[in-house]
Structure 1
């Protein structure tokens, strides 16, 4: 059985997500020793192999295509971006206001899990945060700002 091209081997491995760097051959047991039954069972397996290879080729083609750099945005795109940023800001604010101390601890743990450095002391220590909501001093800063 001939080996696949080197780039396609890696793309197939990524498509299968099996932890291998190159995937030289696709192989699957048909679960029978009977030649006639094996020929019948092979058709869907070969079709699945073809789908995996086609997806890998498409992924490779998408990675090779040059990125088109845009120099301007239209009004609709600008409005959508602004709405997205506004929605994310509101969602974060709601998480912190309703989550209180627990949410701040989760945010810091997530930051550390993603490889960040410890954030250092907070302006208001966790122990002084209420179970729900924000400390009075933080709330007053939000209102004033």
Structure 2
């Protein structure tokens, strides 16, 4: 790989770590009133992680819409870092949900099949979509250099 690609993606990893920290800080502002409905579980952690991941998803969507196709290094850094940071927090959130409730979670292409207590749900996995876009951009950047 080219040194330029390696240095760019090291900046992507650093900036995505910063975005994860910022997202987790905003997760503390989540209003949580679910303790009344489900007193046996503490939902503060999964709800705040979901909110943090949602903030990073919104950053990824808006930056992709506004900055896609830009030749600026900072614009591309924001798109790639927000995609990677959202994917990481998304999968950490699924792991926390699995550890709390122990549902059966089956990853499918672009979906998660979740079975818990006679309830079946097919959930869109936005983390996979963000990773596909991230790796597409990685491939495209590697091919152009």
- TM-score, length basis structure 1: 0.24
Q: TM-score, normalised by structure 2?
A: 0.24
Q: Relative to total residues, which structure has the larger strand share, 1 or 2? A: 2
Point out the structure with max Rg over C-alpha: 1
Q: Which has the higher contact order (CA 8 A, sep 6+)?
A: 2
